[in-house]
Structure 1
Amino acid sequence: MDKKVVVIGAGPAGLMAAGRAAERGLDVILAEKNDRVGKKILISGKGRCNITNSTDIEGLIENVPGNGNFLYSAFYTFSNQDLIDFLEGYGLKTKVERGGRVFPESDKSSDVVDVLLKFIKKSGVRLMLNTAVKDIITEDNCVRGVVTEDGKAMECDSVIIATGGASYPGTGSTGDGYRMAEKLGHTIVDLKPSLVPLLAKQEWVKELQGLSLKNVEITVKSKSGRKLYTDFGEMLFTHFGVSGPVILSASRHLLDYDYKDVKLIIDLKPALTEEKLDARLQRDFEKYSRKQFKNSLDELLPQKLIPVIVDLSGIPSDKFVNQITRDERRSLVRLLKNLEIEIVGSRPLKEAIVTAGGVSTGEINPSTMESKLIKGLFFAGEVIDVDAYTGGFNMTIAFSTGHLAGMNC
């Protein structure tokens, strides 16, 4: 009799796990509660899908602040290069962008989903859409089957939980896997939002809603002044605070602070030292010497930012440029290099890109992804207490752990 496996969840981890298990000749059912597979893949990377990152294995580990060492076996068994080769074997060409981010050459996340669908079809996986698994049946600490939401029982020898986290619940990630694992005795490490937009205290931030800043440097400091993180790139102002690539990456470093009592310092002109920026201001002020201060910054700053900077500078907006003192100009330079925002919280977990926390890694065998508590129970992807920065690392975790679970179930 063929060994039967039920994989719960058809995201990147579940699709990979199911395909690998079926390739081994196992009888595999992939149960997905949505009416289609890969919903989170489709929206990832702004619809382009940041598949992985081109760094080496050590680089992958370094970019997983949440239990990175747990993933050594997964990454070495199925590396980022193995993933790229696998996708290209199905005709999906890839490209590498800034920071080693790997995308489909087509810029379409749907092409990644198409490859994974071809893979599971070729492997012989039985895909069951609109099928929500409610419970896992065990006997003597061994998996015996699953029960679906409509009460139907399916016998099986192994179950792979690949249900994702609790962020973006619209994609189907509603924490089902945590509930099932906890029911079977597993420890669930507290769930927190990771890679999440941040809330700002200052009211003026709202006035900048929709403004995107490119090539800025951000530094995050604790209340005591300790530097927690620094990054360079793009950020976005919103009606509640700040978002964008550098902010999402920074947010992971604030998890232990509950996103409170920290300062975000933005260097609006990181390419210029204070001296060079001062010299640049002097040239602009000479050029616009007969204008009022509020009309003198057009060449230096985005239009939307000017009224805010003018207000924060303390220099009267209607003061003529030729009357601005050296001390006022120097103070403006410091403001442009150190625009400070107080962070007072984050958006909720459902708006986070990734869930930090999950099934405790101490209860999972890192070489196989099998539960140490229940024989025949495996985990893959975001349901495990592992999380990474932006840049394709979280997707790599999903594929690598999915591969490992599928090869060992």
Structure 2
Amino acid sequence: MYDIIVVGGGVSGLMAAYSASKNGKKVILIEKNKKLGQKLLISGGGRCNVTNRLPYEEIIKHIPGNGKFLYGPFSTFDNESIIDFVESRGVTLKEEDHGRMFPVSNKAADVLNVFLTELDKNCVTIRYSTIVEEILTGDGGVTGVKLDDGEIIQAGNLIVTTGGRSVPNTGSTGDGHRFARSAGHDITELFPTEVPITSTEDFIRDGRLKGLSLANVALSVLRKNGKPRITHQMDMIFTHFGISGPAALRCSQFVYKEQKSQKRPEISMMVDFYPDKKKTTLQEELDTLLKESPHKSIKNILKSMMQDRLAEFLIDYNGIDGEANSHHLKNEDKQKIIGFLKGFIFTVDGTQSIEKAFVTGGGVNLKEVTPQTMESRLVDGLYFAGEVLDIHGYTGGYNITSALVTGYVAGHSAGMK
């Protein structure tokens, strides 16, 4: 018999198994893959964006899905604790843009090895290629787990760290939500976040802008009244199915939320191609170009302001004669050009599937979990950590921070019992 069972050897499971085993507790970590830390190894493009060094308020702002819940766990273990945990074990970290922390070696495997060494040192039993069929409870508390081959492993404390449903090839296939439901927990609706956005607009379907990459644009998800619900100023790219790139990924969860709010599949999005310039400034720049080259075609003047394909699309979309020179450009066409560049509106109809998402939205209802301990309010000795919970953030080290912090706190709390 064990003191603590950890189900799921991903980011939060590794940290939970480590912190649970610190005080000599007998811990078993059960993983259905042949290896541990599959998602850790692919995070940050294989470099492992291990956490983010921004202040609490900024981190929580970047976790729009219930980030405030983390104030509780942060009082025990936070982003600086993560940095100290990794660096004090010989892996030096470096800070990149927006507070993102990576190992100096740029190797995720170095971070994984920190955990593997600690688990080995603390005599944690690891079972690979092992599938938990169900969690066992009795008299209001945890009693153990039953494996798919019928074997029962007993313990009075159980930490579920099975991830969400995104990137299923890492083993995240929703098992933890099934376990939580069987223990009486509510699972909020699951949806994809940090995922490309789909559209059936003609210009998307005919591939006119496919592969067009735009730097530092402002992409907004619009409410029913036409006002932005959220705006992200980053890079984006048009694809054969819709839009992708950092700005689109960050907007994706709000596409889902607006679909729910507006009770319809099609919602509007807007691109401001020049977010750092006012309309009047852009108007002046265009007027100057027109004056300087009175005999140049409108098409070529616009091509001096932006990428060729965007200029051609702008002309066609607005019904402007691109071959005409500036003498023949109507005032209303000038307005159309500026209006397009500062607010091109198009419709989208959703996102790619949850399996293609980087992060799962929704999960174990946080009202049923104590933030300071990560223990279930319904079942004694049952803990949840990581993406199985209804917490989701943007990419940039925010989700991994949430996973490591909640994993540590769950393991620490179970280990103190």
What amino acid sits opposite 1:266 in the alignment?
A: V
Structure-2 residue corresponding to 1:379: 384
Matching of residues 58-77 of structure 1 within 5 Å:
58-77=57-76
Query: What is the TM-score when the length of structure 1 is the normalising length?
Result: 0.93
CA distance in 1, matches of 2:273, 2:161: 42
Shift in Å, 1:356? 1.5
Shift in Å, 1:80? 0.5
State the Cα deviation string for residues 288-331 of structure 1 (Å, max 9, x = none): 54443333333321233232122113212333344223332232
Structure-2 residue corresponding to 1:173: 172
Q: Percent identity?
A: 39
What amino acid sits opposite 2:7 in the alignment?
A: I
Answer yes or no: is the 8 Å Cα contact 1:359–1:385 preserved in 2.
Answer: yes
Structure-1 residue corresponding to 2:182: 183
Structure-1 residue corresponding to 2:408: 403
Shift in Å, 1:286? 4.5
Shift in Å, 1:380? 0.7
Secondary structure, aligned partner of 1:102: strand
Structure-1 residue corresponding to 2:268: 263
CA separation of 1:296/1:226 partners in 2, compared to 1, >3 Å: closer, same or farther? closer
Structure-2 residue corresponding to 1:338: 343
- Unaligned segments of structure 2, at least 5 residues: none
The root-mean-square deviation of aligned C-alpha atoms, in Å, is: 2.0
Secondary structure, aligned partner of 2:190: strand
Q: Does 1:228 align with 2:229?
A: yes
Structure-2 residue corresponding to 1:162: 161
State the Cα deviation string for residues 335-366 of structure 1 (Å, max 9, x = none): 11112121221111111221121111122222
CA separation of 1:141/1:117 partners in 2, compared to 1, >3 Å: closer, same or farther? same
Answer yes or no: is the 8 Å Cα contact 1:35–1:129 preserved in 2.
Answer: yes
How many pairs align? 408
Structure-1 residue corresponding to 2:365: 360
CA distance in 2, matches of 1:384, 1:342: 31
Answer yes or no: is the 8 Å Cα contact 2:298–2:326 preserved in 1.
Answer: yes
CA distance in 1, matches of 2:253, 2:310: 27
Structure-1 residue corresponding to 2:138: 139
CA distance in 1, matches of 2:286, 2:405: 51
Answer yes or no: is the 8 Å Cα contact 2:364–2:390 preserved in 1.
Answer: yes
Query: What is the TM-score when the length of structure 2 is the normalising length?
Result: 0.91
CA distance in 2, matches of 1:98, 1:340: 30
Answer yes or no: is the 8 Å Cα contact 2:2–2:28 preserved in 1.
Answer: no
Matching of residues 94-109 of structure 1 within 5 Å:
94-109=93-108
Shift in Å, 1:272? 2.3
CA distance in 2, matches of 1:196, 1:68: 19
CA separation of 1:19/1:211 partners in 2, compared to 1, >3 Å: closer, same or farther? same
State the Cα deviation string for residues 152-176 of structure 1 (Å, max 9, x = none): 2222221110000011111110000
State the Cα deviation string for residues 78-135 of structure 1 (Å, max 9, x = none): 1111111111112222222332222333333333222222232222222221111111
Answer yes or no: is the 8 Å Cα contact 1:23–1:124 preserved in 2.
Answer: no
What amino acid sits opposite 2:128 in the alignment?
A: L
CA distance in 2, matches of 1:37, 1:355: 20
Matching of residues 9-408 of structure 1 within 5 Å:
9-205=8-204, 206-258=207-259, 260-286=265-291, 288-408=293-413
What amino acid sits opposite 1:66 in the alignment?
A: G
- Unaligned segments of structure 1, at least 5 residues: none
What amino acid sits opposite 1:162 in the alignment?
A: T
CA distance in 2, matches of 1:208, 1:95: 37
What amino acid sits opposite 1:295 in the alignment?
A: N
